[in-house]
Structure 1
Amino acid sequence: MSNPVPTRLLSAAARLLSEEGPAALTTRRLAREVGTSTMAVYTHFGSLPDLVRAVIHEGFQRVADRLRALPTTDDPVADLFEKCRVTLEYARAEPHHFTVMFSGSPLAGFQMSEEDLRIGSHALRIARDAIERCIVAGRFRPAEPWLVTRHLWCQMHGLIQLERAGYFGPAFVPPGTPYLDTCLRDFAVGAGDTLEAATTSVARPRPAQD
């Protein structure tokens, strides 16, 4: 069964913005890519800026859904690591949505609103709650959870950007190097965990999902 028109418009808009930039995003180009009329954009989204907003909201919702689907185990640090792995996997699987989600104002006439930032913060709050579990369990030193979350957020996004740019390819990193696990382990140690405990958590088998 084919995807409905709104879904195809979202995917096409994300791809055009990611690959070709704002100049490529026109109602005429979208209609041609999706095989529909230019009126479909206005019918389903109201305007091009509203379509961009919908792309961003959809992307954050997809990330949040994947993170919320993860099981909770008796190891809060391992659970935090798994959320980071899933975030990286999302960035790899949905590169166009991910680019638009974090590209600021990718279209003339579109500005991030407080509501847009609130939608984005939902995914960040999932990480914040996971970090608070680590603090309460005594694995991380007492700290403001939001501050620690933003440190991790910066680290993860830096890693994702470097990977996407090719800086973790064979010319820079030996094949098979577990660079994500190494970064996560060192982050946990920096947050107050012991090297032994962090190493055990990062090596813990990934939990099965329903």
Structure 2
Amino acid sequence: MMVRMARPRNRDYEELRRELVDAGGRLLAAEGPAALSTRRVAGEAGVSTTAVYNLFGDKAGLVREMFLAGFERLAAAFAAVPRTGDPVADLLALGRAYRASALANPHLYELMFGRPVPQFQPDAETGALIRPTFDTLVAAVARCVEEGAFAPAEPHDVAVKINALAHGLCSLELRGALGGTDEARHHWDSAFEIMMRGLAGR
């Protein structure tokens, strides 16, 4: 008979969840989906597989939590961006927060925006949970349009384009294709400066 582990205290639960999510992300990034077993993940975190099953249900549940954790961290980075009187500066700050979150969580980034685990496909409920991060971007663009900083445009369409630019730059930087940190930052600043000028109609 399987002996189930007692549910950890609230703080321990969150710490263990993060450790297992990060362990899974590191294995996935370093060795691919074949390495992503409950046994390997548990071993990386120094716990038994029972902890993985108790917290996530199974491997599929773990992958889903890894996916959601990446977006939770992105949402926290967005939430930390202060609102100022300059809507364009605030939008650019969101871009920098996006980059910082990707650089801090490179082991989760590919799972967030790619399909490194072929069996994982976010369902409608999961999609609804991650939607607020994109909605934050749409709202920031809408403010730029409403305050006249951008030429009249549909905020959602503009947000899609900005998101595509940020994702492309992040993907290249994480693969070392933008050079060192300073060079990569220069490419980011230049690309967004050009895009902002275009959106402003200049």
Q: Give the TM-score band, short-chain normalised.
A: 0.7 to 0.9
Which of 161, 166, 191 does residue 199 from structure 2 map onto?
191
Cα drift, residue 99 of structure 1:
2.0
More helix by share: 2
Secondary structure of the 2:137 match is: helix
State the AA in 2 paired with 1:31: A
CA distance in 2, matches of 1:102, 1:174: 25
Cα drift, residue 80 of structure 1:
0.2
TM-score calculated relative to the size of structure 2:
0.86
CA distance in 2, matches of 1:14, 1:22: 10
Equivalent in the alignment of 1:58:
69
Which of 162, 166, 172 does residue 152 from structure 1 map onto?
162
Q: Is the 8 A contact 1:134 1:140 kept in 2?
A: yes
- After the TM superposition, which parts of structure 1 deviate over 6 Å for at least 4 consecutive aligned residues? none
Equivalent in the alignment of 1:30:
41
Q: Is the 8 A contact 2:173 2:184 kept in 1?
A: no
TM-score calculated relative to the size of structure 1:
0.83
Q: Which has the higher contact order (CA 8 A, sep 6+)?
A: 1
- The answer to whether residue 190 in structure 2 is matched with residue 179 in structure 1 is no
The count of corresponding residues between Structure 1 and Structure 2 is 191
Q: Is the 8 A contact 2:39 2:49 kept in 1?
A: yes
Equivalent in the alignment of 1:204:
none
**CA RMSD, Structure 1 to Structure 2 (Å):** 2.2
Distance 1:21 1:189, change over 3 A: same
- The answer to whether residue 29 in structure 2 is matched with residue 18 in structure 1 is yes
Deviates more, 1:177-186 or 1:132-141: 177-186
CA distance in 2, matches of 1:41, 1:149: 37
Secondary structure of the 2:99 match is: helix
- The answer to whether residue 54 in structure 2 is matched with residue 46 in structure 1 is no
CA distance in 1, matches of 2:34, 2:192: 38
State the AA in 1 paired with 2:194: D
CA distance in 2, matches of 1:79, 1:45: 36
Distance 1:29 1:174, change over 3 A: closer
Equivalent in the alignment of 1:88:
99
Distance 1:119 1:176, change over 3 A: closer
CA distance in 2, matches of 1:179, 1:56: 28
Gaps of 5+ in 2: 1-10
State the AA in 1 paired with 2:176: G
Identity %: 36
Cα drift, residue 176 of structure 1:
7.9
CA distance in 2, matches of 1:177, 1:57: 27
CA distance in 2, matches of 1:79, 1:189: 15
Q: Is the 8 A contact 1:105 1:112 kept in 2?
A: no
Q: Is the 8 A contact 1:105 1:111 kept in 2?
A: no
Q: Is the 8 A contact 2:83 2:90 kept in 1?
A: yes
Cα drift, residue 48 of structure 1:
0.7
Gaps of 5+ in 1: 195-210
State the AA in 2 paired with 1:47: D
Q: Is the 8 A contact 1:72 1:79 kept in 2?
A: yes
